[in-house]
Amino acid sequence: MRETLLKILETGENTPAVDWLKKVIAEQTADFQTRPFYYAFSGVSRHFDKRGTTSATDDQLAALDQAAPGFTVDRWDQFRLARVILLTVLAEQPKDTFLENLHALLSTADIRETQAIYSAYPILPHPEDLIESAVDGLRTNIVEIYDSIALDNPFPAAHFTEEQWNQMVLKALFIHRPLYRIKGIDDRPNPALTEAVVDLAHERWAAGRAINPEAWRCTVGNLNEAIESDLIKLIQSEDVRSIDLEAVALVAKNDPNSTLGQNEDTIALQFTAIEQGNLTWQTLGHHIEVNSQ
């Protein structure tokens, strides 16, 4: 894992910085010392370009996914990647040393350091001891930190309880974060989340506001007559948006028990787009994300 991450970092063409990082890794692997490790973790910002981006090949991304399913460095900058690589050294230490130092880092970390720590959770040992801190991190009002846990990160789907998972997804809707980037969003459907999403929709409608169409993704597999009635009213309303029509069509196509297909005339174009592969939850979510920026 570390070698693959280093190869990805090397594509940033910052040879002196990567050489410095390799030297730190060699020293800390041979003789782990807390204070020098902290200095190096913080010191990443003095060696790498704060605007430096990363670029991984398909083979490299596949190797990461094979080593830790769902793990990716997509959208990462050099700061985050370099710090995650350093955390793989900390991960090799005895459990008590690892946990003590990890939590110490979190307690003093700035925003970008915190992002790196949470981004590393899928490849760190003792995940059962990391859940509480991840849940605590989701309480933040800092979007960048929330995103590092909830988006593009397989840790929550693999380790959160149903209640923790539902709270994370609902907060994503409240703070307007893209659900399509939540790893495992289709793997953990549950009636409690569906009920909460429907309640949120009713609250938004009562206030004359719209709900993120991605929210309906959370109802797939748990549809009932009342929810389908809500969705029919939505697509037949005068102020229905194209993204609402797309979401309802995706619900209809993805839930085998749905009777929404009886309204095929209303969402016929969207059904065609789905069948042609031009409309998916991914494309819908990406469209909403891009146009909300």
Residues 290 and 250 reside in one and the same domain: yes
Residues 168 and 284 reside in one and the same domain: yes
Residue range of the domain that includes 95? 1-160
Residue pair 51/138 in contact by the 8 Å Cβ criterion: no
* Per-residue DSSP letter, 127: G
The pLDDT of residue 15? 86
Q: Which residue in this structure is represented by tokens 């840790």?
A: 155
Helix (H, G, I), strand (E, B) or coil at 278: coil
Number of domains in the chain: 2
Q: Which of the four pLDDT bands, split at 50, 70 and 90, describes residue 91?
A: very high
Q: Which of the four pLDDT bands, split at 50, 70 and 90, describes residue 284?
A: very high
The pLDDT of residue 83? 98
Q: In this model, does residue 13 exceed pLDDT 70? A: no
Where a domain ends, among 144, 160, 176? 160
Where a domain ends, among 139, 160, 181? 160
Residues 175 and 76 reside in one and the same domain: no
What is the value of pTM for the model shown?
Answer: 0.94
Torsion sign across C-alpha atoms 221, 281, 145, 17:
positive
Residue pair 236/268 in contact by the 8 Å Cβ criterion: no
Residues 184 and 110 reside in one and the same domain: no
Residues 129 and 44 reside in one and the same domain: yes
Token duo for residue 104:
């110490």
For 147-197, the pLDDT digits (tens) are 999 999 999 999 999 999 999 999 999 999 999 999 999 999 999 999 999
Where a domain ends, among 106, 133, 160? 160
Residue pair 244/213 in contact by the 8 Å Cβ criterion: yes
* Per-residue DSSP letter, 217: G
The pLDDT of residue 265? 81
* Per-residue DSSP letter, 256: T
Q: Which of 79-93, 128-142, 149-163, 254-268 shows the lowest per-residue confidence on average (mean pLDDT)?
A: 254-268
Residues 145 and 242 reside in one and the same domain: no
Residues 150 and 12 reside in one and the same domain: yes
The pLDDT of residue 50? 79
Residues 69 and 178 reside in one and the same domain: no
Token duo for residue 120:
């590393």
The pLDDT of residue 213? 97
For 206-220, the pLDDT digits (tens) are 999 999 999 999 999
Helix (H, G, I), strand (E, B) or coil at 92: coil
Mean pLDDT of 71-87: 95
